[in-house]
Amino acid sequence: MSPADPTTKKPLDIVVKFALSVFVGSFALIWGGMYLSRPDRSIPPYTVGSQASHFVATYVPRDTQDEQVERLVKRFRKVGHETRDFGPMKIYPTTAGDPGGRYRHIIIYVFDDHLKTNPEVLAKYLAGEAAVIKDYVQSMRGYYRLQDQDEEGGTGPMAHDGTMSNDTRILFKGLVTDPLPVEDEPEPDRSISPL
Protein backbone atom coordinates (compact mmCIF):
# COMPACT_ATOMS: atom_id res chain seq x y z
CA MET A 1 0.00 0.00 0.00
CA SER A 2 1.44 3.32 -1.04
CA PRO A 3 1.28 6.46 1.08
CA ALA A 4 -0.94 8.16 -1.52
CA ASP A 5 -3.60 5.41 -1.43
CA PRO A 6 -7.02 7.15 -1.62
CA THR A 7 -8.75 4.43 0.45
CA THR A 8 -6.92 5.23 3.67
CA LYS A 9 -8.70 7.60 6.04
CA LYS A 10 -6.88 10.28 7.92
CA PRO A 11 -7.82 10.67 11.59
CA LEU A 12 -9.64 13.86 12.51
CA ASP A 13 -7.45 16.68 13.63
CA ILE A 14 -7.62 17.45 17.37
CA VAL A 15 -8.94 20.95 16.64
CA VAL A 16 -11.81 19.52 14.57
CA LYS A 17 -12.64 17.02 17.34
CA PHE A 18 -12.66 19.82 19.90
CA ALA A 19 -14.89 22.04 17.72
CA LEU A 20 -17.37 19.22 17.13
CA SER A 21 -17.55 18.39 20.85
CA VAL A 22 -18.15 22.08 21.71
CA PHE A 23 -20.85 22.29 19.02
CA VAL A 24 -22.70 19.17 20.20
CA GLY A 25 -22.20 20.02 23.88
CA SER A 26 -23.63 23.52 23.49
CA PHE A 27 -26.78 22.17 21.87
CA ALA A 28 -27.13 19.61 24.65
CA LEU A 29 -26.79 22.37 27.28
CA ILE A 30 -29.32 24.61 25.53
CA TRP A 31 -31.84 21.79 25.16
CA GLY A 32 -31.36 20.67 28.77
CA GLY A 33 -31.79 24.22 30.09
CA MET A 34 -34.93 24.78 28.06
CA TYR A 35 -36.35 21.44 29.17
CA LEU A 36 -35.70 22.11 32.85
CA SER A 37 -37.07 25.66 32.73
CA ARG A 38 -40.15 24.95 30.62
CA PRO A 39 -43.45 26.34 31.88
CA ASP A 40 -45.98 24.32 33.86
CA ARG A 41 -48.32 22.93 31.21
CA SER A 42 -50.92 21.56 33.63
CA ILE A 43 -52.38 25.08 33.88
CA PRO A 44 -53.00 27.56 31.06
CA PRO A 45 -50.45 30.28 30.45
CA TYR A 46 -51.45 33.45 32.28
CA THR A 47 -50.09 36.92 32.89
CA VAL A 48 -50.59 39.30 35.77
CA GLY A 49 -51.82 42.47 34.09
CA SER A 50 -52.16 44.69 37.14
CA GLN A 51 -52.29 44.63 40.90
CA ALA A 52 -53.74 47.13 43.35
CA SER A 53 -53.33 46.25 47.02
CA HIS A 54 -54.77 42.74 47.36
CA PHE A 55 -56.66 42.86 44.02
CA VAL A 56 -54.91 41.09 41.15
CA ALA A 57 -56.11 41.07 37.53
CA THR A 58 -54.73 38.24 35.39
CA TYR A 59 -55.45 37.19 31.84
CA VAL A 60 -55.28 33.98 29.87
CA PRO A 61 -55.38 33.53 26.07
CA ARG A 62 -58.80 33.98 24.45
CA ASP A 63 -59.03 30.33 23.39
CA THR A 64 -58.62 29.08 26.98
CA GLN A 65 -61.29 26.49 27.81
CA ASP A 66 -63.37 26.63 31.00
CA GLU A 67 -61.67 23.44 32.25
CA GLN A 68 -58.30 25.19 31.96
CA VAL A 69 -59.55 28.23 33.87
CA GLU A 70 -60.84 25.82 36.51
CA ARG A 71 -57.39 24.19 36.79
CA LEU A 72 -55.78 27.62 37.19
CA VAL A 73 -58.21 28.61 39.96
CA LYS A 74 -57.58 25.27 41.68
CA ARG A 75 -53.83 25.87 41.44
CA PHE A 76 -54.30 29.20 43.25
CA ARG A 77 -56.23 27.23 45.88
CA LYS A 78 -53.43 24.69 46.19
CA VAL A 79 -50.88 27.47 46.72
CA GLY A 80 -53.18 29.08 49.31
CA HIS A 81 -53.39 25.80 51.21
CA GLU A 82 -49.79 24.64 50.98
CA THR A 83 -47.51 27.68 51.17
CA ARG A 84 -49.58 30.83 50.87
CA ASP A 85 -46.70 32.18 48.84
CA PHE A 86 -48.05 33.49 45.54
CA GLY A 87 -44.66 34.96 44.59
CA PRO A 88 -43.81 32.04 42.27
CA MET A 89 -47.22 32.63 40.66
CA LYS A 90 -45.96 36.13 39.63
CA ILE A 91 -48.01 38.00 42.26
CA TYR A 92 -46.45 40.64 44.50
CA PRO A 93 -47.16 40.45 48.25
CA THR A 94 -50.64 41.77 48.93
CA THR A 95 -50.25 42.32 52.67
CA ALA A 96 -46.53 43.05 52.98
CA GLY A 97 -45.45 43.62 56.56
CA ASP A 98 -48.59 41.99 57.98
CA PRO A 99 -47.70 39.65 60.86
CA GLY A 100 -50.37 37.27 59.51
CA GLY A 101 -48.46 36.76 56.27
CA ARG A 102 -47.56 38.44 52.99
CA TYR A 103 -50.68 37.08 51.25
CA ARG A 104 -53.26 37.22 54.03
CA HIS A 105 -55.88 38.80 51.75
CA ILE A 106 -55.91 38.26 48.00
CA ILE A 107 -58.53 38.43 45.27
CA ILE A 108 -57.47 37.21 41.85
CA TYR A 109 -59.63 37.91 38.79
CA VAL A 110 -59.07 35.88 35.61
CA PHE A 111 -59.92 37.45 32.24
CA ASP A 112 -59.32 36.47 28.64
CA ASP A 113 -59.06 40.11 27.54
CA HIS A 114 -55.80 41.84 28.41
CA LEU A 115 -57.48 45.26 28.21
CA LYS A 116 -59.52 44.41 31.32
CA THR A 117 -56.29 43.96 33.28
CA ASN A 118 -54.94 47.46 32.62
CA PRO A 119 -54.15 49.26 35.89
CA GLU A 120 -56.48 52.13 34.94
CA VAL A 121 -59.44 49.79 34.37
CA LEU A 122 -58.81 47.96 37.65
CA ALA A 123 -58.60 51.33 39.46
CA LYS A 124 -61.92 52.46 37.95
CA TYR A 125 -63.55 49.15 38.96
CA LEU A 126 -62.27 49.46 42.52
CA ALA A 127 -63.38 53.11 42.63
CA GLY A 128 -66.92 51.95 41.83
CA GLU A 129 -67.41 53.58 38.44
CA ALA A 130 -70.78 52.27 37.28
CA ALA A 131 -69.80 52.41 33.59
CA VAL A 132 -66.91 50.03 34.23
CA ILE A 133 -68.30 47.66 36.89
CA LYS A 134 -70.94 45.82 34.85
CA ASP A 135 -68.66 45.11 31.88
CA TYR A 136 -65.75 44.24 34.17
CA VAL A 137 -67.75 41.70 36.16
CA GLN A 138 -69.35 40.14 33.07
CA SER A 139 -65.93 39.69 31.46
CA MET A 140 -64.50 37.60 34.31
CA ARG A 141 -63.63 34.02 33.40
CA GLY A 142 -62.79 33.00 36.96
CA TYR A 143 -61.74 34.20 40.40
CA TYR A 144 -60.00 33.19 43.60
CA ARG A 145 -60.57 34.94 46.93
CA LEU A 146 -58.65 34.39 50.17
CA GLN A 147 -59.54 36.47 53.25
CA ASP A 148 -57.67 35.30 56.35
CA GLN A 149 -58.88 31.68 56.58
CA ASP A 150 -61.89 31.90 54.23
CA GLU A 151 -61.46 31.08 50.58
CA GLU A 152 -63.65 30.80 47.53
CA GLY A 153 -63.01 30.12 43.89
CA GLY A 154 -65.06 29.68 40.78
CA THR A 155 -65.42 30.08 37.06
CA GLY A 156 -67.36 32.97 35.64
CA PRO A 157 -67.90 36.31 37.36
CA MET A 158 -67.34 36.74 41.07
CA ALA A 159 -70.37 37.89 43.05
CA HIS A 160 -70.52 41.68 43.17
CA ASP A 161 -72.50 43.55 45.84
CA GLY A 162 -74.08 40.24 46.88
CA THR A 163 -75.37 39.56 43.37
CA MET A 164 -74.40 36.19 41.88
CA SER A 165 -74.38 35.82 38.09
CA ASN A 166 -76.07 32.86 36.40
CA ASP A 167 -72.73 32.24 34.65
CA THR A 168 -70.89 31.73 37.94
CA ARG A 169 -69.96 28.22 38.99
CA ILE A 170 -68.53 28.02 42.50
CA LEU A 171 -65.79 25.38 42.55
CA PHE A 172 -65.04 25.54 46.27
CA LYS A 173 -65.88 27.59 49.32
CA GLY A 174 -64.63 27.03 52.84
CA LEU A 175 -61.61 27.38 55.07
CA VAL A 176 -58.05 27.31 53.84
CA THR A 177 -57.33 24.87 56.67
CA ASP A 178 -59.78 22.30 55.25
CA PRO A 179 -58.02 19.38 53.58
CA LEU A 180 -57.69 19.62 49.83
CA PRO A 181 -59.82 17.08 47.98
CA VAL A 182 -57.98 14.36 46.12
CA GLU A 183 -58.49 15.12 42.45
CA ASP A 184 -57.16 13.62 39.30
CA GLU A 185 -54.18 15.60 38.13
CA PRO A 186 -54.12 16.34 34.41
CA GLU A 187 -52.00 13.98 32.36
CA PRO A 188 -48.42 15.24 32.56
CA ASP A 189 -46.81 16.45 29.38
CA ARG A 190 -44.55 13.63 28.26
CA SER A 191 -43.05 15.57 25.39
CA ILE A 192 -39.28 15.84 25.45
CA SER A 193 -39.45 19.03 23.47
CA PRO A 194 -38.84 22.12 25.60
CA LEU A 195 -41.08 24.18 23.32
Higher confidence at residue 15 or residue 41? 15
Phi, psi of 123 (to 5 degrees): -65, -40
Which residues are 145's β-sheet partners?
107, 152
Determine the pLDDT at residue 22.
93
For residue 4, what pLDDT is reported?
60
Residue 147: the pLDDT is: 92
pLDDT digits (tens, 9 = 90+) for 109-158: 999 999 999 999 999 999 989 889 888 988 999 999 999 899 999 999 88
List pLDDT tens digits, range 69-81.
999 999 999 999 9
Is the pLDDT confidence value at 5 over 70?
no
pLDDT of residue 98: 84
Residue 32 has pLDDT above 70, yes or no: yes
Whats the size of the chain, residue-wise? 195
Q: What angle (nearest 5°) sits at the alpha carbon of residue 21, between those of residues 17 and 27?
A: 150
d(CA 159, CA 8): 82
Pairing of strands 55-59, 169-175: unpaired
Indicate whether 108 pLDDT > 80. yes
Compute how many other C-beta atoms are within 10 angstroms of the C-beta atom of residue 60: 22
pLDDT at 27: 87
pTM of model > 0.85: no
* pLDDT given for residue 11 in this prediction: 82
Give the pLDDT band of residue 52 (cuts 50, 70, 90). very high
Q: Residue 181 has what pLDDT? A: 82
Per-residue pLDDT reduced to its tens digit, 154-168: 999 887 766 778 888
Residues of the chain above pLDDT 70, percent? 87
How many CA atoms lie within 13 Å of 87's alpha carbon, on the beta-carbon side? 7
Is-contact 47 114, C-beta < 8 A?
A: yes
Q: pLDDT higher for 159 or 50? A: 50
